[in-house]
Each structure stands twice: as structure tokens, then as C-alpha cells.
């Protein structure tokens, strides 16, 4: 069991490897729910990525950890071709079902760490809410090796932050304490200025010439069913045994229904990290 003070996937990382491996495989066990409840990215975020990495017709993209295609679809719709490397077989099967009609879509099902380097380099390597699940010792350098000189690595991470939720995250903390997912009764999401930069290993990687970061704040509203469905795909909640998980979700349902008129709003800061490979490599 985690002794969590936050509800952020990043907090489970680099803890120890077996935990990381189990958690990163957890999404595949709920592949159908993942497809149904994990929304894609807001248009502003997609537009910013497209602009930063110059993505459009003819771009050759490698995507790491596509899930069921939340980021893949808009990339394909913008005219790019996408080679996706996905760990989970069931997630990959749904991605193929969702995206198989795009002739510019291909997928390999294996960990990115084991994926053989391609003969022809890519313009862009991209990873949405997945880069932190890749071995931090190799993820930046291996991404660089798959890129053409001047190509770009783009990693996106949605931070959950303090927003205008009317106190929901303070109230719902009781359920996290009760069911053993938190030890901190005073936990609250961080505010935007308290966030630290993600994926700092990219800045340390000598293969990249420059690293830019861009943040976009968005509040998204969920019905109770959407929110409970989303929690069923949360890697932290998936660490609970079934009775504990159902207990927590029942308490959350009661809280949303009794005090929040059946809806929850959640504020995210999407951090986009964009690193340009050195031209001479
Ligand atoms: C939180 S999900 C993000 C999915 C999707 N990109 C999105 O934005 O919703 C993380 C994804 O990374 C995949 N993943 C985790 N570790 C991986 C690895 N080592 N190689 C490839 N994919 C991996 C998981 O199976 C899952 O599909």
C-alpha cells in the first residue's frame, strides 16, 4: 500500500521498480474503462503541441504509450503518420479498433525500453501522460536516438491543481484517508505556482539542444458517473483490493451526490515539454 500524500501519478514514480512495473501495467486491466472514461486533450493543448512541434500533413511521429488513442487520433486527424509503441495488449487491441481505418497508423505492442530502433528516424517523438512510466534512465536518450537531427521530443503531463471545485477535494480527502490511500488529512492539490517542472531528465540529456516548457490551465467538469469511471482508471486507486476500491468509490459517490449536486470540476495544468535534438547528432 502506498503512503500517499498526493493523488498524483508522479508521486508513485522512482519509488521502487516492482511497484512502478505493476502500476504501469494496471491500465491494461481496465482497458475498456480507459477507453470510455479517459478523455482526450483540450483543443488548446493540441494546438499548442502542433505549433511547438510543427505537426501537420506528412509529419512522421513515434508515440510512446498511446493507451487507446486519446492523443493518437488528433495527431492522425492533423495529417501525421503515427507509429505507436504500447505496453498493454488489451489497450492496443482497442486502439487498433478505434484507429485501424487510418492507413498512416501502425502499432507495436511491447515496452518502449525493448522496442528496436528504427532504420528511418522520426520527426517527432510524443508521449501523452505516459513518459513517466518509462524507465527514466533511458527514456530521453532512446527518444533522441529515434529522432532525426533537429527533430523534437514532446512529453505532456496533466498536473492536477487547486481550482474552483467548491471544496470537493478537501471533502473527498476523508474517503482517501478512510481507505488507506492517504495519510495526510490536510492534503490539497498544489496551486499552479507550487508545481515543479516534470521530466527534468530531458534537460539533463546531452542529445537535446534546447528544452521549452509551456503550461495551459483548464477546468473540466464531470458528471458523477464520468468521475467515478475516471477514478476506476486511476493507477493509485487500482492498487486497492476490490472491497477497498468499491468502498472508496461508494463514499465518493455519496459525497458528490449529497454535497455537489452530482457534478465535479477538476482543474489541470497541462505541462508540455518540447526538446529539440541537436542538429549534428
Ligand atoms: C496513463 S496512460 C496514457 C494513455 C494515453 N497516452 C493518454 O494520454 O490517455 C499510460 C500509457 O502508457 C503505457 N505504458 C506504460 N509503460 C509503458 C512502456 N514501458 N512502454 C510503452 N507503453 C507504456 C500504458 O500501457 C498506458 O497505455
Pocket probe for ligand 1: among 7, 69, 112, 130, the residue whose CB has the most ligand atoms within 8 Å is: 130
58 CA to middle of ligand 1, Å?
24
Q: Is the pLDDT of residue 266 over 80?
A: yes
Q: How confident is the model at residue 21 (pLDDT cuts 50, 70, 90)?
A: low
> Which tens digit of pLDDT belongs to each residue from 92-135?
999 999 999 999 999 999 999 999 999 999 999 999 999 999 99
* Spatial contact of 271 and 156, defined as CB atoms under 8 Å apart: yes
Nearest ligand 1 atom to the CA of 28 is 25
Nearest ligand 1 atom to the CA of 25 is 25
Q: Please tell me the distance from the alpha carbon of residue 85 to that of residue 88, in angstroms, as a whole number.
A: 9
Q: Is the pLDDT of residue 4 over 80?
A: no
pTM, to two decimals = 0.93
Domains present along the chain, CATH in parentheses: 9-160+190-218+269-277 (3.40.50.150)
Q: Is 139 in the pocket of ligand 1 (CB under 6 A)?
A: no
What's the angle, vertex CA 24, arms to CA 19 and CA 26, rounded to 5? 95
Amino acid at each position: 500500500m502506498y503512503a500517499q500524500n498526493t493523488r498524483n501519478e508522479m508521486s508513485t514514480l522512482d519509488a521502487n521498480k516492482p511497484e512502478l512495473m505493476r502500476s504501469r501495467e494496471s491500465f491494461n486491466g481496465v482497458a475498456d474503462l480507459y477507453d470510455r472514461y479517459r478523455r482526450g486533450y483540450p483543443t488548446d493543448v493540441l494546438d499548442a503541441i502542433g505549433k511547438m512541434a510543427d505537426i501537420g500533413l506528412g509529419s512522421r511521429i513515434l508515440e510512446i504509450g498511446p493507451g487507446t488513442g486519446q492523443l493518437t487520433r488528433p495527431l492522425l486527424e492533423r495529417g501525421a503518420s503515427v507509429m505507436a509503441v504500447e505496453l498493454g495488449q488489451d489497450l492496443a487491441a482497442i486502439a487498433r479498433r478505434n484507429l485501424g481505418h487510418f492507413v498512416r497508423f501502425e502499432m507495436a505492442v511491447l515496452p518502449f525500453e525493448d522496442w528496436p530502433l528504427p532504420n528511418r528516424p522520426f520527426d517527432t517523438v510524443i508521449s501523452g501522460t505516459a513518459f513517466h512510466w518509462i524507465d527514466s534512465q533511458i527514456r530521453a536518450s532512446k527518444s533522441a536516438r529515434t529522432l532525426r537531427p533537429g527533430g523534437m521530443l514532446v512529453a505532456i503531463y496533466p498536473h492536477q491543481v487547486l481550482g474552483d471545485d467548491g471544496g470537493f477535494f478537501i471533502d473527498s480527502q476523508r474517503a482517501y484517508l478512510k481507505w488507506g490511500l492517504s495519510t495526510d488529512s490536510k492534503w490539497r492539490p498544489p496551486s499552479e505556482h507550487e508545481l515543479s517542472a516534470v521530466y527534468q531528465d530531458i534537460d539533463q540529456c546531452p542529445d537535446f539542444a534546447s528544452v521549452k516548457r509551456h503550461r495551459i490551465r483548464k477546468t473540466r467538469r464531470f458528471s458523477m458517473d464520468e468521475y467515478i469511471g475516471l477514478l476506476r482508471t486511476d493507477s493509485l486507486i487500482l492498487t486497492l483490493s476490490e472491497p477497498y476500491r468499491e468502498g472508496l468509490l461508494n463514499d465518493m459517490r455519496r459525497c458528490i451526490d449529497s454535497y455537489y449536486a452530482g457534478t465535479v470540476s477538476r482543474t489541470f495544468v497541462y505541462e508540455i515539454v518540447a526538446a529539440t535534438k541537436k542538429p549534428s547528432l
